[in-house]
Amino acid sequence: MPTARAADAGRPFGRYRLVERIGSGGMAIVYRAVADGPEGFARDFVIKRVRPELSKDPEFARMLAAEARLSGLLHHGNIVQVFELGQVGDEFYLAMEYVEGIDLVRLLNRCARLGKPLPVGLACYVVGELAAALAYAHALTDGEGRPLGVVHRDVSPSNVMITPSGGIKLLDFGIAKATDQARDERTRTGKLKGKVSYLSPEQADGMEIDRRSDVFSLGIILHECLTMRRLFRATGGDLATLRMVREAKAAPPSSVAPSVPAELDAIALKMLARDPAERYAGCDEVGAALRPLIHRLGGDASTLGRFVGGLGEFENSEPTDESDWPARAAGTGSADLAPAAVSRRRWPWIAAASGSALILAIAIAALASRTRPPAPERLTTPSPTATAPAPPIAPAIPTAPAAPAAPAEPKPAQVTIRSEPPGAAVTIGGQRRGVTPALLSLPLPTEVELSLSGYRPAREVVTRPGEVRLKLSRLPRPHAKKPGKRHLGLD
């Protein structure tokens, strides 16, 4: 029987053509899809298909429409764009920006597995970019200039994407609520939204929250990027973790990672203050505090892209439904980032399907009885510090001398592929690897093909690392015809 992913390939869905299934969660199934147009026009999207049982719920439909309206107002380079809320038959869907890259969960796991901590400057850069995105959302107003009071509510590593060029994208404002929407009594008193390990104390207590709640969650990310350890993750499950969050006890990051400067300790601990009044008033202040450190420590997009590319993380691979860190418990109740292998994959934010669906009851009984789907089977990779067992000793064979060892395969090299004009699809060995400009890890020599609607394809054999720049030739234009309307915006 074909897998669900294979069965969906090429299937039409409204105005889109599904290409592959890339993730799933309690709320939706996520696909990469293509919108085809005339003269070979094609554009990648992410389609978030709401599960049928939820699409039939009138209350959920209203919440989804509110989510789409709010998300449609967010236009920022560090926020994934929502283009459309639509319906095919009885099924709702969201069409979103396709982001090529990896999430922060996978990056930190990879760093831990290889024993290469994320450099302090890059950790500051990632958090600084997220702070800029959140500050923009927090300051959002309606058409008459009135603050909307947007709070993300689910700032967590699985909702942070890193592109091959080192760009940062914040995902899933799907459980963000404007102030007027937060007055729904059932939402305020009966449900707790967000991942437990990344809640603020006031969020964990079911209290009314504001932008300072996102400051706290962002502080958790900063602390974990600096220490390579989970901050609030208890072995006793969600209840014990929730207790840790409410207590909000955090040691200075330098107590775990001595390379962290004292001024960064002060920033992290101020973000993590239990009392919201003692935190930064907003993420704009967080960004201002981090900016001198980012500059001094050399944190920028190109450096991040090179660092992640050097870990071999921007290669094609299979997706999984993993969206949380597979951590092991530490003696303090926190957890180190796991050395266990994380399946390598190319996917544009599977977390969009799961983050907005994670709704936990505040009541202890509900938390205690909460179940999770079984985690996908993982390969186990020994820790870099572990001692490998000695191989068995083969008996001596007094015969012909051994054949010479085969030459080692060349190591992948970092190659930046650019095109004039930019935005061309990069294909290598029949597999798409992104769009230009693209930073890729490639075995050399290798043939690269670039294609862009309206231009002749270009090919070149790359023989050395560095930068490759190809100029595309425009195809002859057909006789002009009056274009028809094509709508990809919010309905």
Listed residues 97, 127, 155: the one ending a domain: 97
Least confident of 113-117, 168-172, 393-397, 438-442: 393-397
Tokens of 264: 């960064």
Residue 481 is assigned to a structural domain of this protein = no
CATH number of the domain to which 447 belongs: 2.60.40.1120
Q: Is residue 187 predicted with pLDDT exceeding 50?
A: no
Do the beta carbons of residue 436 and residue 165 sit within 8 Å? no
In a domain, 291, yes or no: yes
**What's the pLDDT tens digit per position in 470-481?**
888 888 765 544
Q: Which residue has the higher pLDDT, 485 or 444?
A: 444
- What pLDDT does residue 23 have? 78
In a domain, 221, yes or no: yes
Angle ∠(27,32,37) on CA atoms, nearest 5 = 125
DSSP string for residues in 315-379: S-----S--S---EE-TTS-EEPP-S-------S-THHHHGGG-EE-SSHHHHHH---PPPPP--
Strand, helix or coil at 230?
A: strand
The stretch 31-60 carries a mean pLDDT of: 84
Catalytically active residues are 154
**Residue 391 included in any domain:** no
Looking at residue 138, what is its pLDDT? 94
For residue 400, being part of any structural domain is answered with: no
pTM: 0.64
Beta bridge partners of 86: 93
My answer on whether 277 and 183 are in the same domain is yes
Residue 395 forms part of a structural domain: no
Q: Residue 271 belongs to what domain range?
A: 102-324+333-369
pLDDT for 401-416, tens place per residue? Answer: 444 444 454 567 778 8
Q: What is the pLDDT of residue 176?
A: 54
Same-domain check for residues 362 and 424: no
Q: CATH number of the domain that 72 lies in? A: 3.30.200.20
- The listed range with the strongest mean pLDDT (53-57, 424-428, 441-445) is 424-428
CB 251 within 8 A of CB 268: no
Say if residue 357's pLDDT is above 80.
Answer: no
pLDDT exceeds cutoff 70 at 172: yes
pLDDT tens digit string along 299-334? 999 999 999 998 876 654 433 333 444 433 232 333
**76 and 161 co-located in one domain:** no
Instruction: Tell which residue, 16, 47, 22, 49, has the closest CA to residue 34.
Output: 16
CATH number at residue 159: 1.10.510.10
pLDDT band at 9 (very low <50, low <70, confident <90, very high): low
